[in-house]
Amino acid sequence: MKSFVVAFALVAVVYSATTPIPIISQNQDSSPDGSFSNSFESGNGIQAQASGILKNPGVKDAEASEIQGSFSYTAEDGTPIQVNYIANELGFQAQGNHLPVPPVDTNTPPTPPPIPAAIQRALDWIAAHPIPELQN
């Protein structure tokens, strides 16, 4: 009997991992000027939305895309995750309660994480083997 219960539990886990998650709602809109908006919500509570515009269209060296959006989901440990972001000529900037906060002293940049050893070896190899046509 125990093996039957274990087998049934294993089948239930595999089935739940492969069961499709329905999309409850989805909206998309795009305009000829390059602006857009989209959103969706899935049956497991994931939500996302984004909208974008082209800033300074036709202005040389000032034209830039900007996207603002957010997404939310529940982490495996049950923690609700909410991220709001903007992506533009200044880069990707995300905000969320679970994300690290920059230091209060704006004169002190945050300490970057260490470079993984494999990446550092690759960077060292690239520096030691420059591409000849790029050497000018």
Does residue 3 fall inside a structural domain?
A: no
Does residue 91 fall inside a structural domain?
A: yes
User: What mean pLDDT comes out for the span 16-43?
Assistant: 90
Domain that holds residue 100: 22-104
User: What mean pLDDT comes out for the span 3-17?
Assistant: 50
Show the tokens assigned to 122: 């690759």
Does residue 61 fall inside a structural domain?
A: yes
User: What mean pLDDT comes out for the span 8-35?
Assistant: 77
- At residue 135, the pLDDT reads 61
Which tens digit of pLDDT belongs to each residue from 47-79? Answer: 999 999 998 888 888 888 999 999 999 999 999
Which tens digit of pLDDT belongs to each residue from 69-125? Answer: 999 999 999 999 999 999 988 888 899 988 877 666 666 666 778 899 999 999 999
Does residue 14 fall inside a structural domain?
A: no
Determine contact, residues 76/53, Cβ cutoff 8 Å.
no
Does residue 36 fall inside a structural domain?
A: yes
Using pLDDT thresholds of 50, 70 and 90, give the confidence band for residue 5.
very low
Using pLDDT thresholds of 50, 70 and 90, give the confidence band for residue 17.
low
Does residue 119 fall inside a structural domain?
A: no
The domain tally of the chain equals 1
Does residue 2 fall inside a structural domain?
A: no
